[in-house]
Amino acid sequence: MAAALFTRTLLGHRLVPFSSPLSSKPQIFTTLFNLQKKPFHSLLKPSAYVVNKTPSWPVMASSIAGMRASFSTQSLSTSDPVVSVDWLHSNLREPDMKVLDASWYMPDEQRNPIQEYQVAHIPGALFFDVDGIADRTTKLPHMLPSEEAFAAAVSALGIQNKEGVVVYDGKGIFSASRVWWMFRVFGHDRVWVLDGGLPRWRASGYDVESSASSDAILKASAASEAIEKVYQGQAVGPITFQTKFQPHLIWTLDQVRKNIEEKTHQHLDARSKARFDGSAPEPRKGIRSGHVPGSKCIPFAQMLDASQTLLPEDELKKQFEKEGISLDTPVVTSCGTGVTACILALGLHRLGKTDVAVYDGSWTEWGAHPDTPVDTSS
């Protein structure tokens, strides 16, 4: 059952308190651990409550009430891929908008996104499971699911094509960019990343909810169950979200291999310089170190400022120009597993390049393949 599946995901990891103002509120974590000892049906009470604003974080001047205009997502431009926390706060209850918590972390960070969502999330936000809403036919992590599977999962979350979607994560701009890209691959352009994510939201003094409602929990588990059913050939429904696949936004291993010779696209790698050069080991076992021949390294962090918000256009241009990247030539991006490559795509989108492809398998696929060429700089 959906509930059982979600319970296993929720309770199967150790909760590691994250660096946030909630660390000063141990009773919230205690509540979560107590909930874990109860049967799942006891979690399905509409027990959402609000964690007070955090006085230890400064309230930004731009967040003062009455200083923001309210706009519908219908009129919001898709030319800029991010929205501010002030805009979201002013439009949080708009009926034509859905907010998704798409937090995901590297395994060595020992952070559990589902449990952190339970502890604190933007009011009304649903949880989007990056690892769960994925292709179940490959061992590669969180690969893009099929059109049918994505439509089934997103429909289970209650999202419709007429709605705008705002995606955020717990680091600032990280995994939310991956989900932004996923929606765009399936033809939904009215999707934005929350600039600065949950940290910026809280730094601006805005409230968060804790202990997700039964509706949010059931939708998250229903999305995972819908994915399973599709890949098992079982019927799902109802489908409220129709996909329109955009093949130019996703690349395969064969396309990357072909590009080494033909050089139709500039290949940008979002991993760290040490991993790109081959001087640092890969975090996953069995993966060679190095990079795709002819690719260039632009670590994803170069797209962001110190507060983990997307750089303005002029600063982004400088980052690409200093690496010799032409904005007039097609681009494909990659990283470790197709997550931070989407941050490069996000930055390029702000500069008007809306057709950037992402190599989905990225280095985890390329570096593990027995006959793919690998260069090192060491």
Partners of 165 in the β-ladder: 98, 191
335 is annotated as an active-site residue: yes
CA distance linking residue 359 with residue 252, whole number of Å: 6
DSSP per-residue letters across 288-338: --SB-TT-EE--GGGGB-TTS-BPPHHHHHHHHHTTT--TTS-EEEE-SSS
Other beta carbons within 10 angstroms of residue 32's beta carbon come to 17
Token pair in block for residue 192: 């934005």
CA distance linking residue 237 with residue 364, whole number of Å: 33
Backbone angles phi, psi at 365, to 5 degrees: -80, -50
User: To which residue do tokens 């690349």 refer?
Assistant: 251
With contact defined as beta carbons under 8 Å apart, do 152 and 230 qualify?
Answer: yes
Q: Name, in order, each residue with C-beta under 8 angstroms of 51's C-beta and a sequence gap of 6 or more.
A: 22, 25, 28, 120, 207, 208, 209, 210
Could you tell me which of 289, 340, 282 has the C-alpha nearest to residue 108? Answer: 282
Burial class (CB in 10 A: 0-12, 13-18, 19+), 112: buried
H helices of 232-272, where? 253-262
Q: Which of 102, 230, 335, 345 is catalytic?
A: 335
User: To which residue do tokens 């494909």 refer?
Assistant: 332
Residues marked active site are found at: 335
